[in-house]
Chains A and B, each alone.
Chain A
Amino acid sequence: MSLWGRLTGWIVLIFGLTYFALPLLGLTEFSLKARRGVYSLDAYAKVIADPEFQATFGYSVMMALVTIALGILIVVPTAFWVRLKMPWARPYVEFITLMPLVIPAIVIVFGYIRLYNTSSWLPLTGSIMGTNLLLAFGYTILALPYMYRAVDTGLRTIDVATLTEAAQSLGAGWVTILGRVILPNVIPAVLSGAFLTFAIVIGEFTLAALLDRPAFGPYLQRIGANKPYEPFALAVIAFGITWACMGLIQLVTRFSKHSKVAR
């Protein structure tokens, strides 16, 4: 590599560091300064002790789990069927699953509110349960691109068609095939999709705020506007969760590699 190339590399790296790592460092440092003069975890203690934190965080975790379950139920059979019976449809399905990346969440939620308001034929927003359901659907849509890609990649590592036929000739129906043959073989892929979904749902703001549900995202925003140190502690916690998810994806991928796919 030339001197110029190396120099450019370093400049980009330094730029990236100042842009990304420095604010993070500053953030973390500041979150530790709640007590005058010394570093302490006071802000974290306060945040974690806050019942509203516990409530909203619990709510968001719940929502994330529901979203993951919905995502698996929708995506695994779809990706399986497309691979098995309609390979010609794959580009179209892929395009559709990418839509949520292009359409802003706010458009989706306005659409929801317009379609399912209290005077519509299906007044989902009229009840708390209905709104929760709507929010879970919205999250499922937001997570669709990641979930679909992950599962589709997982399906590529097995011979879907032959395994399906082998199971069929042994008497298995579709539910058995999906549940006992296909799903167990794409678990690592499903898990990495699930962790991504978790990371997205935990910090999501727009949908939760506009549907007025007590989720972690809006709470984060509210605290940020009103408290001095706690928002920074919260930001670090949220960031930590995201990173933990990424780490878990790495772990699952690596673990699965030498247990199953090897041959």
Chain B
Amino acid sequence: MAFLELSHLEKSFGSNRVVKDFNLDVGQGEFISLLGPSGCGKTTVLRMVAGFETPSSGAIRIGGTDVVGKRPNQRNIGMVFQAYALFPNMTVAENVGFGLKIKGAGRDEISARVTEMLRLIGLPDLGARYPFQLSGGQQQRVALARALAPKPQVLLLDEPLSALDAKVRVSLRNEIREIQRELGITTIFVTHDQEEALSISDRIVVMNGGIADQVGPPFEIYNRPTTRFVANFVGQLNAFTATVEDGAAGRVRLGGVPVTLPAPVSGGSVDLAARPEALYLGRREGNDVILPATVRDVHFLGSVIRIGANVAGMPVALDTFNRADQPPPAPGAAVELSLSSRDLIVLGG
């Protein structure tokens, strides 16, 4: 049973259709990421849920009630912005207590809740500070506490980590996830960073040009992308073009090597893809596809070695783990790469 339902959501600005037939069911307590390139409509979807934009058509239901007609201040939704947006004239405690004060809560109730929230975000002693006296990461934590304090039904975060530096970004994203789990709050998290989305989401919605291309758990999105866009956008990818010999039997020829795919294909040629970690340098038990290749370059990254090679004129990248007793091949060397035909992704659309 979905707690937050977006059905057939559409939004146009003038003649520009920004969100097209967007459907999503979010379960109670679920953490959903909207992932996609700049301008694909992520923020617009979020702003429609928050009530800052009115959908051109479609419905938004929270706990079964349609909220489209409601104003933003009647929706009981917590929002965290990329730009922090703390009230500069108020202390941290006043910021966090703002929502409760609006609701008419008593002073004791507010101060108890503020203390609780500040402890939750790990800043119990900073209540008396002003926003300009905090670091970016601290400000964003306070913004999170402020959004959560009035116990909203849904939490929306629009690229909350984009303005922070890399280290803070990673620690804060894990913290956000922990807090979200602890409170069990239904959350939509907008990002254009695939690693962010993959690491913390229950499910990811990959958006492209206003459409939800694929919805699924990170493992599925990464390993079983259903569209070429998703395959390319999420993670690194090696793409091959293979000629079809017997489509019904799934028999194709990849750079002269016969390959049998687990599923039937159609047409004269088919686009296949494999993740860098699916390719293996040399032969291995279970890897039924052997591809002769020439090493182009070798990047030693520490625990992982990324090798660039050419297979029948097509560039591929493969990742192998570093082993102290096994030096990587030199550029120009002729090698064999192997993979399991089950790891080949057939790219549609």
Q: What is A's interface to B at a CB cutoff of 8 Å?
A: 158-159, 162-163, 165-173, 176, 181, 184-185, 260-263
Contact = CB atoms under 8 A, between A and B. Distances in A.
Given A260-B132, A262-B132, A263-B132, A169 B77 contact: yes
A169 B73 contact: yes
Contacts of A261: 88, 132
A170 B88 contact: no
Contacts of B89: 181, 184-185, 260
B31 interface: no
Given A170-B146, A170-B150, A158 B88 contact: yes
| Size band of the interface chain B makes with A | 20 to 34
B59 interface: no
Contacts of B81: 162, 165-166
Contacts of A185: 87-89
Nearest to B81: A162
Given A168-B72, A169-B50, A173-B73, A163 B99 contact: no
B334 to A, nearest CB: 58
A162 B85 CA distance: 6
Dominant secondary structure of chain A at its interface with chain B: helix
Given A165-B79, A169-B147, A170-B147, 16 more contacts: A162-B81, A162-B83, A162-B85, A163-B87, A166-B85, A166-B86, A168-B51, A169-B78, A171-B73, A171-B103, A172-B73, A172-B98, A185-B88, A260-B88, A260-B130, A263-B132
B98 A167 contact: yes
Interface string B44-62: 0000001110000000000
B88 A165 contact: no
B128 interface: no
Given A158-B88, A165-B52, A185-B89, A170 B83 contact: no
A173 B72 CA distance: 9
Contacts of A158: 88
Contacts of B75: 169
A172 B85 contact: no
A19 B99 CA distance: 58
Nearest to A166: B85
A167 B78 CA distance: 10
B301 interface: no
Q: Which 7 A-B pairs have the closest CB atoms?
A: A170-B99, A184-B89, A169-B79, A263-B132, A168-B72, A166-B85, A162-B85
A159 B99 contact: no
A171 B102 contact: yes
A176 B87 CA distance: 13
A222 B89 CA distance: 47
10 contacts: A168-B71, A168-B73, A169-B78, A171-B76, A171-B103, A171-B150, A172-B102, A260-B89, A260-B132, A261-B88
Nearest to A174: B73
B151 to A, nearest CB: 12
A141 B52 CA distance: 34
A222 B131 CA distance: 54
B129 to A, nearest CB: 12
Interface in B61-75: 71-75
Nearest to A169: B79
B208 to A, nearest CB: 26
A203 B131 CA distance: 42
Contact of B98 (A162, A170, A173, A260): A170
A162 B163 CA distance: 15
Contacts of A162: 81, 83, 85
Interface in B144-167: 146-147, 150
A243 to B, nearest CB: 30
Given A162-B81, A165-B52, A170 B102 contact: yes
Nearest to B71: A168
Contacts of B87: 163, 166-167, 181, 185
